Each structure stands twice: as structure tokens, then as C-alpha cells.
Amino acid sequence: MKNNFTAIIFSIAIVIAAFLLGNSIINRNNTDGIISVTGLGKADFTSDLIVWEGSFSNESTNLKLAYNNLEKAKKIISDYLFSKGIKPNELVFKAVTSRKNTKAKYNNEGKYIGEQFLGYILTQSLQVDSNDVEKVEKISREITELLNKGIEFYSQPPRYYYTKLADLKLEMISKATSDAKLRADNIATNSGGKLGNLISAKMGIFQITGQNSKEDYSWGGTFNTASKLKTASITMKLTYKAD
């Protein structure tokens, strides 16, 4: 009798354990659905600010003479740029830098015996910042005309920027968010459910590349300054609860 009672209790325990284990598995697998999507926002735009730099030098064994010659060159360059339409507030001349120009001296046996002083080299650079992009582009291409005035001017390629970048970024975020929301709606509809509350939103890296260029996107963000015509893009990752 006692053995039968023990067997009955043991059987009941097995049934209860099986029920609890089965219910645990069902609850564990019955988690709420999650939909994660990434949306893209893109826009083409034209730069509205150009920055152009260049430099000129003069060399002489007399430091004062080198400086005076540099000042004369500065006046010629200023007059030239103003005649081309550059405004005084668009032009900045930077501080003059100087260095000694020397060359190594060797004796008849080829042994180094010191440095020979050749003169002082004075260099001054300038920078033009303007919203008239086409005007400065044209001047940067024609600056070799200064050679006819006896000035050797070393021009650097212009850099291009966009002054309304903050507004553009907000516009891109809005586009990327709308794109992600549309993707999430389609996924929910196609799976026979509906989109629930937004759980999280994560913004990706803001990228600016030159149009028709082969620039690669960077994990740290690409910021093109070499092209006047650019493309801005950003991604938004949204995570929704699926009902």
C-alpha cells in the first residue's frame, strides 16, 4: 500500500514538472516582436563658400631689401585681385615668415666644412574667402597673369564649403527617419501585423562626398572640400515594437 502511494506521488510530481517545464518553454519563446530598420537620407547641393590660398616669396642677402621687395609684390597682388572683383573684406594677408637659405660646403677632400649663407627667404601667404564661388574660381585659374608683372605666385586648389550645413543635416535626418519608418511599415504589413511603438532611434555618420566622385564612405565621416558639387547623406536606425 505504501509503495503504491509513493508511486502515485512520484507520478503526480512528474506530470507537474512536465507541465511547468512546458509552460516555461512556451513563455520563453513567446517574446514580443521587434522590427529594426535603417533609412537613408540624401541630397545634392552646390557649395556657397570658396576658400582659396596662395603664397609669394622674395630672397635677398639683405633682410631689409627682401622685406621691401615682398611689400612691393604684396601691393601688386592686392591691386590685381581688387581689379578682378575681390573685395577688401574677402582678402587676408597672413604674417610674413622668414628663413635662412644655406647650402653645405665641402673641402677638396669632400669633407663637410660648414654652411654657406645664400640669403634670406621671406614668404607671405594670403587667403580669399568669398560667397561668389564662380568669381574666385575664375581668378584662381587666371592668377598666372601675375607672371607678366614679375610676380611668382604659388596657388593652391580652392576648397569648397556650405554655410547652411546645419539646416541641411536636419533635413537629411528627417528624410532618413521617414525612409526608415516607411520600411518598417512595409515589413509589419507584409508579415501580417502592425507597427507598434518606437523603441529607439540611432543616427548614423553624416557624410559629404563630391558628386560623380569615387570617394568611399568612412566610419568617421567623409567631409569633401575639393568639389563644388556635393552629395550629403545620413542614416537613421529605428527599432519598433511589432504588435
Q: Give yes or no: residues 69 and 151 share one domain.
A: yes
**Residue-wise pLDDT tens digits, 13-34:** 444 333 333 333 333 333 468 9
Q: Give yes or no: residues 73 and 153 share one domain.
A: yes
Structural domain count of the chain: 2
Q: Give yes or no: residues 233 and 171 share one domain.
A: yes
Measured between alpha carbons, how far is 188 from 37 in angstroms, rounded to an integer?
11
Report the amino acid identity of residue 150: G
Sole residue written with cell 518606437: 198
Q: Does some domain include residue 96? A: yes
Q: Give yes or no: residues 227 and 213 share one domain.
A: yes
Q: Does some domain include residue 5? A: no
pLDDT of residue 220: 72
With H, G, I as helix, E, B as strand and everything else as coil, classify residue 230. Answer: strand
Q: Is residue 178 scored above 90 in pLDDT?
A: yes
Q: Where does residue 212 rank: exposed (0-12), middle (13-18), buried (19+ CB within 10 A)?
A: exposed
Residue 49 near residue 163 (C-beta atoms within 8 A): yes
Q: Give yes or no: residues 90 and 181 share one domain.
A: no
Q: Does some domain include residue 114? A: yes
With H, G, I as helix, E, B as strand and everything else as coil, classify residue 39. Answer: strand
Half-sphere exposure of 196 (CA within 13 A, CB side): 13
Which of 159, 178, 200 lies at the terminal end of a domain, its last residue?
159
Give residue 96's domain range: 50-159
**Residue-wise pLDDT tens digits, 107-160:** 888 898 899 999 999 999 999 999 999 999 999 999 999 999 999 999 999 999
Measured between alpha carbons, how far is 103 from 153 in angstroms, rounded to an integer?
24
Confidence grade of residue 219 (pLDDT, cut at 50, 70, 90): confident
Q: Is residue 59 scored above 70 in pLDDT?
A: yes
Q: Where does residue 238 rank: exposed (0-12), middle (13-18), buried (19+ CB within 10 A)?
A: buried
Q: Does some domain include residue 17? A: no
pLDDT of residue 212: 82
Has this prediction a pTM greater than 0.85? no
Q: Does some domain include residue 13? A: no
Assign residue 36 the CATH number of its domain: 3.30.110.170
